[in-house]
């Protein structure tokens, strides 16, 4: 019961895994980063590449001090909080602790839950499977839409109309459909130069 309350406050969080690697996607591609992957997601993307993360209860709940102390063992000072869906949790306490320890903090989120925490960079990747919470639109620094089917381009434009004007617009092929959708994305970005392409470069390099 006490653990449940600490999770609700954001002082403890379910940790699926944490690893030091190279950011593979989006604007920060190529930057060394420590990934904190929180367990639990209720969005249900059919093509999700971390389906194992969905069940929140199966991951050990850790005090945020412990999670941050692990991150400090590595030389990089960029942390990416991901999941699962990290905004299922109160991210205020962990982001303030990471900030106190000198980290730059990015998040990868579907935006499907109310925004919490304080970040240097917010990657918003909306999903058809669960509508984003309105609080994400003013926070997004990067809109990264996964293209699985050609209709996802229209979906991307619908969200682009709602983010702030400084938000970077990215189309990322769904990994298993990359061959089919890549030419579509290339043609679209050439005709609509306010968009850029993002690829999952860590998968090409076979790194975590
Ligand atoms: C696994 S998700 C975790 C964070 C959050 N739940 C989200 O969806 O943004 C991390 C990133 O991987 C993307 N992603 C997941 N599966 C993918 C796939 N099969 N192909 C391309 N991108 C994928 C997501 O859209 C998201 O931008
Ligand atoms: N290298 C690497 N870059 C990533 N960018 C976003 C990831 C994620 O799963 O959130 C991810 C990941 O899992 N690995
Ligand atoms: S929101 Fe993210 S973690 Fe959840 S199912 Fe979709 S891609 Fe996977
Ligand atoms: Mg990933």
Helix (H, G, I), strand (E, B) or coil at 100: helix
Nearest CA to ligand 2 atom 6: 25
pLDDT at position 78 is 99
What is the percent of the chain where pLDDT is above 90?
A: 100
Give the domain ranges of the chain.
2-205
The Cα 105–Cα 197 span in angstroms is 23
Using pLDDT thresholds of 50, 70 and 90, give the confidence band for residue 14. Answer: very high
| Confidence label for 187 from pLDDT (cuts 50, 70 and 90) | very high
pLDDT per residue over 105-134, tens digit each?
A: 999 999 999 999 999 999 999 999 999 999
User: Measured in angstroms, how far is the CA atom of residue 2 from the centroid of ligand 2?
Assistant: 32
109 C-beta closer than 6 A to ligand 3: no
Q: What is the number of alpha carbons within 13 Å of residue 160 lying toward its C-beta?
A: 16
pLDDT at 1 over 80: no
* Residue whose pair of structure tokens reads 């639109």 in the numeric block: 137
Q: pLDDT tens digit string along 37-52?
A: 999 999 999 999 999 9
**For residue 76, what pLDDT band results from cuts at 50, 70 and 90?**
very high
Quote the ligand 4 centre to 184 CA distance (angstroms): 23
Model confidence at 90: pLDDT above 80:
yes
Q: Which pLDDT does position 49 carry in this prediction?
A: 98
Average pLDDT over residues 172-191: 98
110 lines ligand 3 (CB under 6 A): yes
Instruction: Pick out the residues of the known binding site for substrate.
Output: 22-24, 37, 82, 208
Tell me the pTM.
0.99
Residues having CB closer than 6 A to ligand 1 are 41, 47-50, 82-83, 85, 108-110, 125, 144, 146, 172, 174-175, 200
Give percent of the chain with pLDDT exceeding 70.
100
| Cis-peptide into 84, omega within 30 deg | yes
Q: What is the pLDDT of residue 23?
A: 99
Q: How far apart are CA 168 and CA 90, in angstroms?
A: 25
Q: How many other C-beta atoms lie within 10 A of the C-beta of residue 43? A: 22
133-164: pLDDT as tens digits: 999 999 999 999 999 999 999 999 999 999 99
User: Does 3.20.20.70 match the CATH number of domain 2-205?
Assistant: yes
The neighbouring-strand residues paired with 158 are none
CB within 8 Å of 125: residues ≥ 6 apart: 108, 109, 110, 111, 143, 144, 145, 146, 172
- Ligand 1 center to 200 CA (angstroms): 10
163 Cα to the center of ligand 3, angstroms = 20
* Span 189-200, average pLDDT: 98
CA of 108, closest atom in ligand 2: 10
Whole-number pLDDT of residue 68: 99
């Amino acid at each position: 019961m006490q653990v449940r309350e600490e999770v609700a406050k954001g002082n403890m969080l379910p940790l699926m895994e944490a690893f030091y690697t190279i950011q593979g996607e989006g604007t920060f591609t190529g930057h060394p980063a420590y990934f904190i992957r929180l367990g639990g997601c209720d969005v249900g993307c059919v093509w999700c590449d971390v389906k194992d993360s969905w069940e929140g209860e199966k991951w050990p709940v850790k005090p945020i001090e412990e999670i941050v102390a692990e991150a400090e063992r590595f030389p990089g000072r960029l942390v990416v909080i991901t999941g699962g869906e990290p905004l299922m949790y109160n991210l205020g306490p962990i982001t303030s602790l990471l900030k106190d320890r000198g980290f730059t903090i990015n998040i990868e989120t579907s935006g499907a839950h109310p925004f919490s925490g304080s970040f240097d960079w917010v990657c918003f990747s909306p999903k058809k499977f669960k509508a984003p919470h309105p609080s994400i639109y003013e926070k997004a620094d990067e809109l990264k839409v996964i293209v699985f089917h050609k209709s996802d381009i229209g979906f991307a434009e619908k969200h682009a109309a709602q983010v702030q004007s400084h938000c970077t617009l990215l189309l990322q092929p769904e990994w298993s459909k990359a061959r089919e959708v890549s030419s579509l994305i290339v043609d679209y970005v050439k005709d609509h130069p306010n968009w850029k392409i993002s690829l999952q470069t860590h998968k090409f390099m076979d790194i975590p």
